[in-house]
Structure 1
Amino acid sequence: MDYTLAIEGAPETIPGGTGVLLLHPSTGETDRIDTEFLATDTDRFLVISTRTTAREVKQKLEYYDVDESRAEILDTLSVERGYSRRSGENIHYVSAPHDLDGILEQTRRFLEAHDGKTRLTVDSVTELIYYADEDDVYDAMVELLSLLEEYDAVGLFHLSAEVHDDETVERFRELFAGVVDLDADGEVSCEFPSVE
């Protein structure tokens, strides 16, 4: 199954099972790319949020006019920070951002529960590395990518290029079939060698 990819300079479509790395500066405006990715050619999507709470994710979707009825949110922050949580059928929680097993389990449940075109975003891998060991995060991303393949879904994974050394950026970059590089001026360049 092919998915339309509404990102400037990227291929028009990518096949199911494709993971895309979004490299961005630490202050980069990623919301526009993220929401266009989620809103296009999608039946259901999952936002794995390690950077903002579910409430903030909902505000972002509303601001960018993304159909919230298609959304599920995995909030990794609220439990650990002691925020009040309102569980709904579309909002899920894990105990903390370093609960990688919980993130993988919730992602599998989401993908098992929905047919059709499904997408996910991980916002962000950088935040996961703050909370958990880099090797463990790497292994978890490998697992997430294998879930995309198993369920014919696609995913967008945020990584802030400025806060990691070149070796770390390159290590994660090599995992993905495509890379979208957002610079400080908002310019986008793309590499999809296995898709083009």
Structure 2
Amino acid sequence: MDYELAIENTPDAIPGGTGVLLLHPSTGETDRIDTDFLTTDTDHMLIISTRTTAREVEQKLEYYDVDETNATILDTLSIERGYTRRPTDNVRYVSSPDDLSGIVEAAREFLDTHDGKLRVTVDSITEMAYYADEERARGAVADLLALLSEHDAVGLFHLSPEVHEDAVVDDFRELFDGVVELSADGTVESVF
């Protein structure tokens, strides 16, 4: 199954099972790329957020006119920060961004219980590595990519290269079928 890819300077479509690495400056405006990825040719979407709370994700989806009825949000921050959390059909929680097995298990559950064209975003690998460590984050990313392949889904994974050693960024690059680079001036380039 192919998925349309509505990100400038990328292929028109990618096959199911494809993981895409989004490299961006830490101050880069990734919301446009993220929401374009999620809203095109999608039946259900899972948004794994290690950087913002579910409430902030919901505000982003609303701002960009993303149909939230098809979205499931995995919030990894609210419990750790002591915020009130109200689980709903569309919002799940794990205890913290370093609960990598919980994140992978939540993704597995989402993919097992939804049909059709499925998209997953992870915002971000950088935060996972900050809370856990780079080696454990790489393992979790590899597990998530294996799940995408198993379920014929696609995924977009954020990484801010300026806070990692070049060798670490290269290690992550090797895991992915496609890399999209967003520069500070908003230019997008890609390699697939």
- What whole-Å deviation, never above 9, does each CA across 1:38-68 have from its counterpart, x for those lacking one? 0000000000000000000000000000000
Partner of 2:141, secondary structure, is helix
Q: Paired residues, what number? A: 192
> Is 1:44 aligned to residue 50 of structure 2?
no
The aligned runs of 1:1-196 (5 Å cut-off) are 1-192=1-192
Shift of 1:86: 1.1
Partner of 1:174, secondary structure, is helix
The separation in 2 between residues aligned to 1:162 and 1:99, in whole angstroms, is 24
Shift of 1:161: 1.2
AA in 2 matched with 1:72: T
- What whole-Å deviation, never above 9, does each CA across 1:146-179 have from its counterpart, x for those lacking one? 0000000000000001111111111101110000
Shift of 1:134: 1.1
The separation in 2 between residues aligned to 1:13 and 1:174, in whole angstroms, is 21
AA in 2 matched with 1:76: T
The separation in 2 between residues aligned to 1:41 and 1:104, in whole angstroms, is 24
Shift of 1:102: 0.3
| Structure 1 portions without partners, runs of 5+ | none
The separation in 2 between residues aligned to 1:45 and 1:84, in whole angstroms, is 24
% identical equivalent positions: 69
Shift of 1:7: 0.7
| Structure 2 portions without partners, runs of 5+ | none
AA in 1 matched with 2:140: A
The separation in 1 between residues aligned to 2:59 and 2:127, in whole angstroms, is 20
AA in 1 matched with 2:162: E
Q: Which runs of 4+ in 1 moved over 3 A?
A: none
The separation in 1 between residues aligned to 2:190 and 2:165, in whole angstroms, is 21
- What whole-Å deviation, never above 9, does each CA across 1:4-44 have from its counterpart, x for those lacking one? 00011111000000000000001000000000000000000
The separation in 2 between residues aligned to 1:107 and 1:115, in whole angstroms, is 14
AA in 2 matched with 1:77: L
Give the TM-score of the pair, scaled to structure 2: 0.99
- What whole-Å deviation, never above 9, does each CA across 1:124-149 have from its counterpart, x for those lacking one? 00000100021111111110000000
Aligned alpha-carbon RMSD (Å):
0.5
The separation in 2 between residues aligned to 1:145 and 1:170, in whole angstroms, is 17
